[in-house]
Amino acid sequence: MTVHDPRVLVARAHALDAADPLRAVRDRFVLDDVVYLDGNSLGALPRAVPARMAEVIAEEWGRLRIRGWTEAGWDTAPERIGDRLGPLLGAAPGQLVVGDSTSVNLFKVLVGAVRLAPPGRDEILLDGSTFPTDRYIAASAARLTGRTLRVLPPAGIAEAAGPRTAAALVNHVDYRTGELADLPGITEAVRGAGGRTVWDLCHSAGALPVELDANGVDFAVGCGYKYLNGGPGAPAFCYLRAEYLDRFDSPLPGWWSHRDPFAMADEHLPHPTVRRARVGTPDVLSMLAFEAALDVWDGVEIAAVRAKSLALTDFFLECVAALLPEGAVDSLTPRAHARRGSQIALRHPEARRLTAALGDRGVVGDFRPPDVLRLGFTPLYTGFAEVVRAATALADEVAG
Ligand SMILES: Cc1ncc(COP(=O)(O)O)c(C=O)c1O
């Protein structure tokens, strides 16, 4: 393809920005001149968070002290924030709880899912392109529950599910390539075979509709700090489908999952709600920062976010095709909308150098070994003019 005049793309970008129904949402974030395409690692700071945190520290911690647990609602924050995530994830109230890290939640729900399976179901299926922490935890869960871990390409999970399947752990969006897995199809196949699904939603929560309830997902976990903008190390979330609330048997039954923590009882009696997925004392400051960050979603439909995400990534691929010589980079991210998350992953032998050089030009993406430049497009704050800036900088660096 011929290399085009970037001014044509700039004009198109301005028209797309002018017609963008989410354009004003950008003002809810603290941003600068940098083209920030790393919201798939750490979302930008929502404007409401600093003042809310100052208030939490001065008023709730400073003045209420221990009374904050009841009078400021710290005690119930994990379920309250979980319910606020419900509309973004397609989950009715009472099935989501916020707390701990994704890794810890993965361990809880994967072991919990396997504990629901009869002993004859002796396999845990794992998508082979998974994020490393999922692999390590699945291997440990398999050892702990006496099951065998069977690692497959994500597309092979549905077919592999059968009478030996206890549970399948699958990533909704591949962290490296940005490929979107067929969540409805895989869930239906695993459930149809009598197994249970555990979905890792780290790269889809807040970026695209998940519809946990409607799709029959059994268990899910995901990050608070990526497309949900909850802040560095924000607590993760954990979804237990309603039908498991009375029987989910957590492998980490801490006192905060007890039905009466302050009874200080010797025997653990699990809480009858999703609170049974908690462990110990919640990380209140991070949790309340996450809660304040969720204000950016007021009046925003996840369907509109998905529409803009696809428009942004389509436009970026178009800019790359127009500005870079053919074959200069290789997109690992599928072109089909049904198979694309909200990032574009480009392969280039010098991807590490390109990532650093783009950073020097004010375009922030990240590098994943061995040769992948990842650019995440967060529809709440990324505009189309920024897409052209990023592609232009990339074209200059590849050329030079
Ligand atoms: C897909 C996926 N799963 C799990 C994790 C691990 O999350 P945490 O470090 O918060 O436990 C990450 C982190 O980036 C991730 O991208």
Q: Is-catalytic flag, 29? A: no
Distance 134 CA to ligand 1 centre (A): 8
Q: How many CB atoms lie within 10 A of CB 266?
A: 5
Ligand 1 pocket member 378 (CB < 6 A): no
Distance 149 CA to ligand 1 centre (A): 20
Q: Is-catalytic flag, 374? A: yes
- Ligand 1 pocket: which of 98, 104, 131 to mutate (most atoms <8 Å of CB)? 131
Residue 323: its pLDDT value, please? 96
- Per-residue pLDDT tens for 279-306? 999 999 999 999 999 999 999 999 999 9
Ligand 1 pocket member 218 (CB < 6 A): no
Residue 1: its pLDDT value, please? 43
- Indicate the pTM of the whole model: 0.97
Q: Is-catalytic flag, 108? A: no
Exposed/middle/buried for residue 113 (C-beta within 10 Å: 0-12, 13-18, 19+): buried
Q: What are phi and psi of 193, to 5 degrees?
A: -85, 0
- Ligand 1 pocket: which of 105, 175, 238, 368 to mutate (most atoms <8 Å of CB)? 175
Ligand 1 pocket member 101 (CB < 6 A): yes
> Which contacts of 82-85 are long-range, i.e. CB under 8 A and separated by 24 or more positions?
82/237, 82/274, 84/291, 84/294, 85/205, 85/228, 85/237, 85/294
Token pair, residue 71, equals 């009078």
- Per-residue pLDDT tens for 174-207? 999 999 999 999 999 999 999 999 999 999 999 9
